Structure 1
Amino acid sequence: MSIQGKRIALMIEDEYQILEGWYPYLRLTEAGAKVTVIGSGTKTSYLSKEEYPMDADASASDVSPNDFDGVIVPGGFAPDNMRLHKPMINLVKGIYDQGKMTAAICHGGWILASAGAVKGRRVTGYAPIEDDVVNAGGIWVSDQAAVVDGNVITSRTPPDLPAFTKAIIGYFEK
């Protein structure tokens, strides 16, 4: 499996779920992608819920959707923090609006909902965000580890990470 040269933005903020940040970063880097960690710009390093740091390569206001082939939003409580920073939502919206791969796991679907990327799409995520996704026009799927609907890829929780990253790699290998 190779996605050599694909440019993927990995959104990050404090209280990210450690596996949902690091697993895609490491797996996609291993597959040949250039993964760029994008923060809100409030600091240069963000802490997981377990206080494990992830350094940002850039802030959302310093990059453009044109810089990337796709975006991943990990979960944890980070998406709640991301929603406070409009440039983060705008970056995800811009990537989605250009028809590029737009992925989220767990609570990450909150950002997809805020970015208008779930309307009319089959999506999954952590069960407590179902109402938000449905209210944003998404079609909730609860029984699949990874759901691919066009350029939108979603997943539920850390045990689904292998299916999630396999779906992302498969998307780019087409």
Structure 2
Amino acid sequence: MTTTTDIGVLDNRAAIRGATRPRGRIAILTADLVEDVEFFYPYYRFTEAGYDVDVLTPGGTEVSGYKGLALRTGVQAIADADADDYDALFIPGGLAPSELRDLPEALAFTSAFAQTGRLIGAVCHGPQVLISAGLVEGRRMTSWKDVAPEVREAGGHYIDEPVVEDGQFITARKPGDMPLELARFMVRLAGEKGAGASHE
């Protein structure tokens, strides 16, 4: 595990999880030009709640946000990740989903994770990855307003509400909706973990 001293040298934006045993592992699926708030808010929230977080990107190297914030620590290539290793998946928005939806490895990982039945969160443009992975048909979802036609065209039911839950999916429209989305996500995750859904 990276120490505080190491983090100070390597990456001053890296989250620091407490020394206790991890509660589980969460994957954040993203790429460069991710919306900074939509990435860093859940990244810190998950870590501070006691989860190990792997940031999965196309190249497995530093990921940079749309506004210039970057993270170098805990990033790995999507192709090297195994969906069975994670308790939850989160897909932030920005411009990153437009790259991910064209990557076979990103869609394969998302599809494989969906088959586990475990929790998937997405915000803003994040549902575009779910659309391209063929996971939206018959589902109630929300997203950034410009993505709404895509949700409908994919056979989903677009709901213009801050947070929409449908089975394993929890979606939100924009950064301002994320406190509500993450609060619900953490409650659901704790409940599923409490039911014995540990995948460390």
Bucket of the pairwise TM-score, normalised by the shorter protein: over 0.9
CA deviation string 1:96-124 (max 9, x = no partner): 11111111000001001111222211100
Match of 2:86 in 1: 68
TM-score, normalization: structure 1? 0.92
Q: Paired residue for 1:44, among 55, 61, 66?
A: 61
Structure with the bigger RCO (C-alpha within 8 Å, sep 6+) is 1
Match of 2:111 in 1: 93
Q: How many residues matched? A: 169
Root-mean-square deviation (CA, aligned residues, Å) is 1.2
Match of 2:169 in 1: 152
Q: Any idea what SS the aligned residue of 2:165 has?
A: strand
* Aligned counterparts of 1:54 and 1:164: Cα–Cα separation in 2: 23
Q: Which has the larger radius of gyration?
A: 2
Is residue 28–residue 165 contact of structure 1 (8 Å, CA) maintained in 2?
no
* Aligned counterparts of 2:48 and 2:30: Cα–Cα separation in 1: 20
Is residue 99–residue 151 contact of structure 1 (8 Å, CA) maintained in 2?
yes
Q: Which runs of 5+ in 2 are unaligned?
A: 1-21, 192-200
Cα deviation, residue 35, structure 1: 1.3
Q: Write out aligned runs for 1:101-120 (5 A).
A: 101-120=119-138
Q: Any idea what SS the aligned residue of 1:107 has?
A: coil
Is residue 141–residue 159 contact of structure 2 (8 Å, CA) maintained in 1?
yes
TM-score, normalization: structure 2? 0.81
Q: Any idea what SS the aligned residue of 1:128 has?
A: helix
Q: Which amino acid aligns with 2:86?
A: F
Q: Which runs of 5+ in 1 are unaligned?
A: none
Q: Percent identity of the aligned residues?
A: 31
Q: Which amino acid aligns with 1:88?
A: A
Q: Which amino acid aligns with 2:127?
A: G
Is residue 73–residue 105 contact of structure 1 (8 Å, CA) maintained in 2?
yes
